[in-house]
């Protein structure tokens, strides 16, 4: 039986792009390139360097199963440690030589069963498969407050932290109370002279301590590799149970809501507590996890401002009650455009169909990874992926495995190009839409989960169901397969859809 040697281009060297690359290497596929517009790997962990940054998913779960790290310092890892981890993994797998740093993919067009890629550096190349790993929270969203440009101090978005700012003794405003704003407040409360948190909408906060791992514990994880596996599987099971609170009403949802409400009651001042009380259900917006926020916001040098920002002048922020808040720096923790998937890459599929045309009603992807009319194109963290309070490393691994299985079928000559049918996507999307009203994200609040159609754009079932969907044999009727050498076509699709490889293979460290 023939085995063809595919060429693959991956856009992005963040957590999911690295994951895809490593899975290709593990499968013996060496002809791939990663285009990365930045100067280092790590994506969001490279870009976000703000004080107080950590990942609110346990370290022992937020890691690749094929590269467990026994040395995590804390239950929730600080951002720089996570960046070191991804950087170290890229080194260990020799990925840097395959990454074109400082090279942005400008356009990609599917013609003659291949993707023709053009980059910002003028490079042109042609590959069999194109994988987008451009991240879900990548494009900073900065509000255009009137007068913002006239501010005489420093002003920057949280994902573009200006490290020339010495916060000691300074008057600093943080605009935004998402996970980022909350972490920055905790990170700056002790050092800033005065910290003003501008809150448009209050957030529910789930309290979770962040203990250090002991030397003994780390040593045990280093010498007994299955401990990492045990910890990972335990957290995965716990998170599976926890995410059911998002997808269906019931006891779990009530329990998490009760914990958040009890946490809020730890705020002593009734007026401050009132201001911090959201008017929507816990978890409707992405749940903020912090064991420190209420303590930080009750400090004497921290002020919660709930008046709307009217405009900005050279000396500071003027709220709609006319008060001038004099400041040295303004941090915009105002989030990201979470619907910009793949863009601004100009993607042109079969018969000149652009991604803009395909997504005129909003971003959609069959099974979260593929788009009708765009053959041999796959996404990691694409529309409707399970991105809510879960380890995105786990999601990336499942999606990478799914993509790899399609590539293996191509290797066997089963097809030259594969894309889901429009009907398959319509059915898939209808299933999601039907499930959405039961989710907590549709219970009446605004958040970055909400798409153009007013419905959440995330996965409305459990991550386990997503894993099952991606790792089960796909329904042949859902895909249009064209061409192929004929060598592998007689073999039933299911025969090529082997079970997932065993996890935790261990990586030389
Ligand atoms: P976000 O959740 O979208 O929050 C943005 C905040 O800015 C909101 O409080 C929003 O208020 C406020 N805002 C936006 N425009 C504003 C305006 N014009 N005036 C006043 N306030 C404005 O963004 P984020 O905090 O950067 O977090 C985004 C996501 O990143 C998180 O949900 C999470 O998925 C991820 N993240 C994860 C971690 C982690 O530990 N794993 C840490 C940080 C971030 P409204 O609520 O009123 O819109």
**Which tens digit of pLDDT belongs to each residue from 241-300?**
999 999 999 999 999 999 999 999 999 999 999 999 999 999 999 999 999 999 999 999
Cα-to-centroid distance, 284 and ligand 1 (Å): 13
Question: Does one domain contain both 460 and 312?
Answer: no
> Does 507 score more than 80 pLDDT?
no
Domain's final residue, options 332, 356, 380: 332
| Structural contact between residues 34 and 211, judged by C-beta atoms closer than 8 angstroms | no
Give kind and range of the element (H or E) at residue 383.
none
* Closest C-alpha residue for ligand 1 atom 25: 178
Summarize pLDDT for 300-329 with one digit per residue, the tens: 999 999 999 999 999 999 999 999 999 999
Distance 458 CA to ligand 1 centre (A): 16
226: Cβ contacts below 8 Å, ≥ 6 apart: 504
Residue among 176, 275, 330 whose CB has most ligand 1 atoms within 8 A, to mutate:
176
Pocket test for ligand 1, best of 77, 140, 180, 320 (most atoms within 8 A of CB): 180
Q: Is residue 180 scored above 50 in pLDDT? A: yes
If asked whether residues 229 and 158 sit together in one domain, one would say yes
In this prediction, residue 434 carries a pLDDT of: 96
CB 369 within 8 Å of CB 403:
yes
Are residue 195 and residue 111 in the same domain, yes or no?
Answer: no
Distance, in Å, from the CA atom of 133 to the CA atom of 11, rounded to the nearest integer, reads 5
CA 469, chain centre distance (Å): 20
- Mean pLDDT confidence for 436-455: 95
Ligand 1, atom 2: closest residue by C-alpha: 178
Looking at the CA of residue 180, tell me the nearest atom of ligand 1. Answer: 25
| pLDDT for position 2 | 58
Centroid of ligand 1 to alpha carbon of 180 (angstroms)? 6
- pLDDT score for 490: 40
Nearest ligand 1 atom to the CA of 448 is 3
Least confident of 55-64, 101-110, 113-122, 490-499: 490-499
Task: Take atom 6 of ligand 1 and give the residue whose Cα is closest.
Answer: 176
Q: What is the mean pLDDT of residues 341-351?
A: 97
pLDDT band (50, 70, 90) for residue 501 = very low
Q: How far is the CA of 374 from the centre of ligand 1 (A)?
A: 32
Quick: pLDDT tens for 29-48: 999 999 999 999 999 999 99
Q: For the sheet containing 124-127, what is the strand order? A: 124-127, 114-119, 105-111, 346-348
CA of 285 to the centre of ligand 1 (A): 9
Q: What's the rounded Cα separation, in Å, for the pair 396 and 381?
A: 7
Q: What distance in angstroms lies between residue 61's CA and the mean position of ligand 1's atoms?
A: 23
Average pLDDT over residues 349-374: 97
Q: For residue 506, tell me if it sits in a domain.
A: no
Q: Is the pLDDT of residue 494 over 70?
A: no
* Count of the separate structural domains present in the chain: 2
Does the pLDDT value for residue 11 go beyond 80?
yes
Kindly give the number of the ligand 1 atom that is closest to the alpha carbon of 137: 30
Judge if 26 and 44 occupy the same domain.
yes
Contact 360, 452 (CB under 8 A): no
CA-closest residue to ligand 1 atom 12: 176
How many Å lie between the centroid of ligand 1 and the Cα of residue 473? 37
- Residue 490 makes CB contacts below 8 A (sequence gap 6+) with none
Query: Are residue 283 and residue 316 in the same domain, yes or no?
Result: yes
Query: What does the alpha-carbon distance between residue 479 and residue 489 come to, in Å, rounded to a whole number?
Result: 14
Mean pLDDT of 372-388: 96
**Whose CA is closest to atom 45 on ligand 1?**
201
Question: Hey, what are 478's tokens?
Answer: 């859902």
Mean predicted confidence (pLDDT) in 96-115: 98
List residues near ligand 1 (CB under 6 A).
54-57, 137, 143, 175-181, 183, 200-201, 286, 309, 333-336, 446, 448
**Distance in Å, CA 205 to ligand 1 centroid:** 13
Decide: 333 and 180 in contact? Cβ < 8 Å: yes
Domain finish residue from 313, 332, 351: 332
Q: Which of 15, 200, 338, 392 to mutate to test the pocket of ligand 1 (most atoms within 8 A of CB)?
A: 200
Residue nearest to atom 36 of ligand 1 (CA): 179
Q: What is the pLDDT of residue 141?
A: 97
Q: What is the pLDDT of residue 1?
A: 53
Ligand 1 midpoint to CA 75 (Å): 23
State the residue range of the domain holding 23: 8-139+338-494
Whether residues 376 and 455 share a domain: the answer is yes
The answer to whether the beta carbons of residues 60 and 82 sit under 8 Å apart is no
- Residue 223: predicted pLDDT: 97
pLDDT of residue 497: 47
Reference 8, options 117, 90, 142; nearest CA is 117
Q: How confident is the model at residue 505 (pLDDT cuts 50, 70, 90)?
A: very low
Examine the pLDDT at 491 and tell me if it is beyond 60. Answer: no
Same domain, 161 and 104: no
Question: CA–CA separation, 102 vs 153, rounded Å?
Answer: 30
Ligand 1 atom closest to residue 200's alpha carbon, by position in its atom list: 47
Provide the terminal-to-terminal Cα distance of the chain, rounded to the nearest Å: 37
Question: Could you tell me if residue 507 is inside a domain?
Answer: no
The residue whose CA has the least distance to atom 18 of ligand 1 is: 143
- 50-100: pLDDT as tens digits: 999 999 999 999 999 999 999 999 999 999 999 999 999 999 999 999 999
348 is a domain residue: yes
Which ligand 1 atom is nearest residue 56's CA?
40
Ligand 1 center to 178 CA (angstroms): 4
For residue 273 the two structure tokens come to: 């507590």
Which residue's CA is minimally distant from atom 32 of ligand 1?
Answer: 286
Q: How far apart are CA 175 and CA 493, in angstroms?
A: 52
- Tell me the CA–centroid distance for residue 333 and ligand 1, in Å: 6
> Given 304, 332, 360, which residue is the final one in a domain?
332
Nearest to 91 by CA among 126, 41, 141, 23: 41
Mean pLDDT taken over the chain: 94
What whole-number distance in Å separates Cα of residue 298 and Cα of residue 1? 69
Q: Please report, for residues 53, 197, 287, 459, the alpha-carbon distance to residue 301 in angstroms, rounded to integers and kept in the order given.
A: 20, 11, 26, 40
Report how far ligand 1's centroid is from the alpha carbon of 286 (Å). Answer: 9
Q: Atom 33, ligand 1: which residue's CA is nearest?
A: 179
Question: Residue 261 has which token pair?
Answer: 């409400």
| Whether residue 376 is found in the same domain as residue 325 | no
Distances in Å between the Cα of 278 and the Cα atoms of 71, 260, 438, 451, 472 are: 38, 11, 20, 22, 41
Give the residue ranges of DSSP H helices in 202-354.
Answer: 215-223, 226-247, 251-264, 270-275, 293-297
In a domain, 468, yes or no: yes
- Å from CA of 349 to ligand 1 middle: 33
Q: What is the pLDDT of residues 224-246, one digit of tens each?
A: 999 999 999 999 999 999 999 99
pLDDT at 492: 42
Same-domain check for residues 183 and 299: yes
* Predicted pLDDT of residue 485: 82
Pairing assessment for the beta strands 194-198 and 336-337 based on DSSP bridges: unpaired
In a domain, 42, yes or no: yes
- Indicate if 312 and 173 belong to the same structural domain: yes
Do 157 and 107 fall within a single domain? Answer: no
Kindly indicate the confidence band of residue 504, based on its pLDDT and cuts at 50, 70 and 90. very low
User: Are both 322 and 397 inside the same structural domain?
Assistant: no
Task: Compute, in angstroms, the gap from residue 196 CA to the centroid of ligand 1.
Answer: 16
- Residue 205 lies inside a defined structural domain of this protein: yes
CATH number at residue 186: 3.50.50.60
Does 502 map to a domain?
no
Tell whether 503 is covered by a domain: no
Q: What distance lies between CA 276 and its chain's CA centroid? A: 27
């Amino acid at each position: 039986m023939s085995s063809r040697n595919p060429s693959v281009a991956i856009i992005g060297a963040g957590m999911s792009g690295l994951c895809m690359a490593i899975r290709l290497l593990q499968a013996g596929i060496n002809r791939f390139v990663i285009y990365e517009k930045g100067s280092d790997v790590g994506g969001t962990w490279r870009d976000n360097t703000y004080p107080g940054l950590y990942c609110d998913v346990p370290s022992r779960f937020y890691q690749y199963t094929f590269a467990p790290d026994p040395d995590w310092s804390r239950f929730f890892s600080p951002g720089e440690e996570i960046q070191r981890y991804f950087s170290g993994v890229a080194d260990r797998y020799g990925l840097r030589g395959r990454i074109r740093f400082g090279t942005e993919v400008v356009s990609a067009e599917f013609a003659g069963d291949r993707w023709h890629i053009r980059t910002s550096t003028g490079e042109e190349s042609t590959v069999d498969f194109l994988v987008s790993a451009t991240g879900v929270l990548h494009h900073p969203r900065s509000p255009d407050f009137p007068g913002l440009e006239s501010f005489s101090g420093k002003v920057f978005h949280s994902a573009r932290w200006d490290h020339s700012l010495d916060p000691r003794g300074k008057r600093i405003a943080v605009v935004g109370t998402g996970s980022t704003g909350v972490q920055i407040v905790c990170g700056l409360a002790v050092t800033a002279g005065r910290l003003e948190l501008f809150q448009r909408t209050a957030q529910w906060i789930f309290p979770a301590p962040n203990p250090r791992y002991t030397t003994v514990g780390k040593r045990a994880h280093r010498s007994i590799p299955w401990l990492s596996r045990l910890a990972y599987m335990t957290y995965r099971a716990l998170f599976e149970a926890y995410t059911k609170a998002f997808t269906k009403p019931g006891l779990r949802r009530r329990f998490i809501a009760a914990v958040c409400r009890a946490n809020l009651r730890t705020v002593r001042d009734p007026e401050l507590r009132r201001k911090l009380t959201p008017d929507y259900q816990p978890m409707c917006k992405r749940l903020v996890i912090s064991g420190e926020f209420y303590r930080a916001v009750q400090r004497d040098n921290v002020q919660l401002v709930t008046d709307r920002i009217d405009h900005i002048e050279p000396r500071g922020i003027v709220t709609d009650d006319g008060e001038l808040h004099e400041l040295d720096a303004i941090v915009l923790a105002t989030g990201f455009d979470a619907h910009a998937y793949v863009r601004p890459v100009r993607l042109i599929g079969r018969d000149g169909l652009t991604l803009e045309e395909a997504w005129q009603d909003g971003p959609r992807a069959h099974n979260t990874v593929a788009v009708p009319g765009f053959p041999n194109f796959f996404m990691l963290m694409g529309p409707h992926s399970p991105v809510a309070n879960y380890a995105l490393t786990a999601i990336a691994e499942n999606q990478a495995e799914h993509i790899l299985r399609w590539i293996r079928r191509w290797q066997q000559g089963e097809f030259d190009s594969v894309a889901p049918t429009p009907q398959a996507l319509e059915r898939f999307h209808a299933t999601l839409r039907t499930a959405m009203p039961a989710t907590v994200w549709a219970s009446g609040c605004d958040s970055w989960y909400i798409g153009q159609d007013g419905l959440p754009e995330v996965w409305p079932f459990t991550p386990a169901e997503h894993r099952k969907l991606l790792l089960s044999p796909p329904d042949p009727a859902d895909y249009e397969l064209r061409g192929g050498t004929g060598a592998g076509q007689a073999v039933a699709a299911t025969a090529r859809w082997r079970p997932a490889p065993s996890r935790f293979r261990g990586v030389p460290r």
